[in-house]
Amino acid sequence: MKLARMFIAALALTGMAWSVNMATANAATGSLILHFPDGPDAAIPNPKAGCISPEPVFTSITNRTDVSVAVFQEPGCTGTVVRVVRPGAGPVDIGQGRSVRVPS
């Protein structure tokens, strides 16, 4: 009986760890859409946590995810945050964006 309880507890812990890993694989649910002045828009479905540095620069952003994102005028999400775009907002004019940080 004790062995059965330990086995069930181990399975429960394994399932919990797996659930946590699945939840952190994507930091946002939905789409982030970058609008470029001279090209087609770029939709990023379920963006992962971290920095997105597209080329060329983008001029506006639509946030159809469930998290706020920070827009920077420098590549690599460095320098000053020029705009925080809330979930459901957009398109939001940001001048010339060089990178976007999706929180973890």
CATH number 1.20.1440 is the correct assignment for the domain at 27-102: no
Mean pLDDT score, 27-55: 95
| 38: its two tokens | 């001279």
Instruction: Label residue 8 by pLDDT band (50, 70, 90).
Output: very low
19 burial via Cβ count (<10 Å: 0-12, 13-18, 19+): exposed
Beta bridge partners of residue 39, listed in sequence order: none
Q: Domain spans of the chain?
A: 27-102
- pLDDT tens per residue across span 61-80: 999 999 999 999 999 999 99
Give CA–CA dist 42/32, Å, rounded: 8
Q: What percent of the chain has pLDDT over 70?
A: 75
Q: Is residue 11 over pLDDT 50?
A: no
**The model's pTM:** 0.73
Mean pLDDT score, 35-47: 94
Residue 24's SS3 state is helix
